Structure 1
Amino acid sequence: MPKNIRRWGPPLLLVSPSLILLAVFVYGLLAINAKTSGTDNHTAAQTTGRAPVQWVWFDNFVDLLGSESFQHSLKNLVIYTVVFLAGTMFFGFLWAFLLDRPVRFEGWFRSIYLFPMAVSFVASGVVWRWLLNSNQGEAASGLNRLFQNIGLGFLQNNWWNNPDWGIAAIAIPAIWQMSGYVMALFLAGFRGIPEELREAARVDGANEWQLYRHVLFPQLSPVALSAVIIVGHMSLKAFDLIMSISKPANYQTKVPAIDMYQFKLSFDYANAAAVGVILLVIVAILIVPYLVHINRAEKH
């Protein structure tokens, strides 16, 4: 038996089940989805084979991107992503910064911050649907009632029913739920910095702000980049939280994932697959540069 086969044979045999599953259920299904997105399979008759399916290449993508409804979904996705990303990064970093300093009951606070992450988006969506109720005045409930009772009635608003920024209101529960995860990332980054660096900076005369500004914060750049990629990736796939709060999905809170779901319900498999391809491309634009950066960093 050749040496190369003896060297690579057993490891390849060990990982072959995973490779087969990956090839079939990931790349194989991606290929089928891409193929479907290039057809005119828009009806139940075509889906069941009672009507012919024609190849239309990129017509579905042109129609989708030129549609005012889908452009609205993309706009909502951008707003949701920006608000969600900014909120989780700010609060996650703030909590990690506070917990990095000596505080009593650190484990208790850390558990409180991480607890929302253990709740499913569907369960939290049901609660936040009530908290973000749009009723005002005597019929107010949730946050609007709270604002009314503490004399801040001017803060009452329509929340996710707002036609201009309703999707931004849905980012609030997402921020509440995922800030603890970002906190854990940053806190691990803080704790991974050698104590010698802190001591050396203090010996050189740096105060606490200078220590964090010039020594610790620059060390957290890889953690921040990872957090941005992970949270940004999650925001692009937003579906269950939005559906739980605004079900049935309203126009003002519609995002591409909901479009894909609605296309599928109407047996418009071609447009549903096209939306999936568009989301895949957007995710790839975020993930691929990150993977290239990580690969180059490991080589150096």
Structure 2
Amino acid sequence: MGEGSRALKREKNWLPGLLLVTPSIVLVGIFVYGLIGQNVWTSLTSSSKRAVSGGRVVEVTQNEGGLANYTSLLGSDGYQHALWNLLVLTVVFLVGTMLFGLLWAVLLEKGVTAEGVFRSIYLFPMAVSFIAAGVVWRWLLSPGQGEQAVGLNKLFQMVGLDGLQSEWWSTDSRWSMAAMAMPAIWQLSGYVMALFLAGFRGISEDQREAARIDGASEWQIYRHVLFPQLSPIALSALIIIGHMSMKMFDLIYAIAGANSYVASVPATLMWTQMFNQGDKVAAAVNATILLLIVAVLVIPYLVYTNKTESEGD
């Protein structure tokens, strides 16, 4: 067979596949990367707004354009407050979901009566939308106390634990967002549990038996045999939960409202900038910064995963 025939055969092999994925490539290029590029372009433009001065309508510069838009937003008190809230929310969310997810996975892995029932109970919150869960948790985390107490504060009052009553997320303190993480922990701990449980079930029983023969206690088996093998799963869970926390909007919107300053994060602030203030440039700057924050978290993980898979091959 000549070189021309082999080249034609290779072309026939890859051409159908290319034609099959071309529509997806075009759509992703336009509606993902094209819109990301448009957003970045918008974030670098200048804008002005009309204001009344001396009885006349004048144009007032709202955004200077270029990197000044980014320095202006990052230097504002409102955005720094939103970033701090995001940090508190993410840290508490990650610690809570990983802790409870691992705990429930260990309990189920050890074997309990009616495991299927407990597994369904833990996974059920995942089936509930953040909006629906937020409506319920808004009542549970109501800040009213004393005669106005409802939700958790009412429960504490009924059992004589009045000292545990709190204003939850509604107080303007540096740690108020820790309460906002409670609904998210409740909703996604079951997902982390499923990941860890799958990891436990994937480890051969022979390894445990060998460790027991060597005289290892149950704690030592978990610490030195099982947990090290769950490191890739733990890393995946951290990345997934972490990026969900950083762009969380619907849960906070349902509990505190999109315009709440106390519970504001970059995602809810973006809504305020775009629809309340009419400042699309500031919203685009906010979106770009949020994209960069998520990229800093996700891209190293993708590189690590790709490298690990390449070494495995």
For normalisation by structure 2, the TM-score amounts to 0.90
For residue 249 of structure 1, give the secondary structure of its aligned residue in structure 2. coil
One-letter amino acid matched to 1:22:
V
Unmatched tracts of structure 1, length 5 or more: 45-50
Q: Give the 5 Å matches for 1:106-117.
A: 106-117=115-126
CA contact (8 A) 2:258 2:269 kept: no
| Distance in structure 1 (CA, Å) of the matches to 2:223 and 2:63 | 60
Question: Which residue of 1 is the match for residue 295 of structure 2?
Answer: 284
* 1:254-300 per-position Cα deviation (integer Å, ceiling 9, x unaligned): 10011111111132111101000000000010001101111111121
Q: What's the offset of the Cα at 1:197?
A: 1.5
Matched residues, percent identical? 57
Q: Give the 5 Å matches for 1:1-300.
A: 2-3=7-8, 4-41=10-47, 43=49, 56-164=65-173, 165-247=175-257, 249-265=259-275, 266-300=277-311
Larger Rg: 2
Runs of 4+ in 1 over 3 A off after TM superposition: 1-4, 41-44, 51-55
CA contact (8 A) 2:48 2:61 kept: no
The change in CA–CA distance for 1:124 and 1:204 in structure 2 (over 3 A counts) is same
Question: Which residue of 2 is the match for residue 47 of structure 1?
Answer: none
Q: What's the offset of the Cα at 1:26?
A: 0.6
Aligned length: 296
CA contact (8 A) 1:42 1:267 kept: no
Q: Which has the higher contact order (CA 8 A, sep 6+)?
A: 1
* 1:125-170 per-position Cα deviation (integer Å, ceiling 9, x unaligned): 0111110011101111100011011111001110111211222111
Question: Which residue of 1 is the match for residue 56 of structure 2?
Answer: none
CA contact (8 A) 2:46 2:63 kept: yes
| Distance in structure 1 (CA, Å) of the matches to 2:46 and 2:274 | 14
The change in CA–CA distance for 1:207 and 1:59 in structure 2 (over 3 A counts) is same
For residue 213 of structure 1, give the secondary structure of its aligned residue in structure 2. helix
CA contact (8 A) 1:42 1:268 kept: no
Q: Counting strand residues as a fraction of each chain, which structure ranks higher?
A: 2
CA contact (8 A) 2:259 2:269 kept: no
Q: What's the offset of the Cα at 1:249?
A: 3.1
One-letter amino acid matched to 2:262:
Q
Question: Which residue of 2 is the match for residue 48 of structure 1?
Answer: none
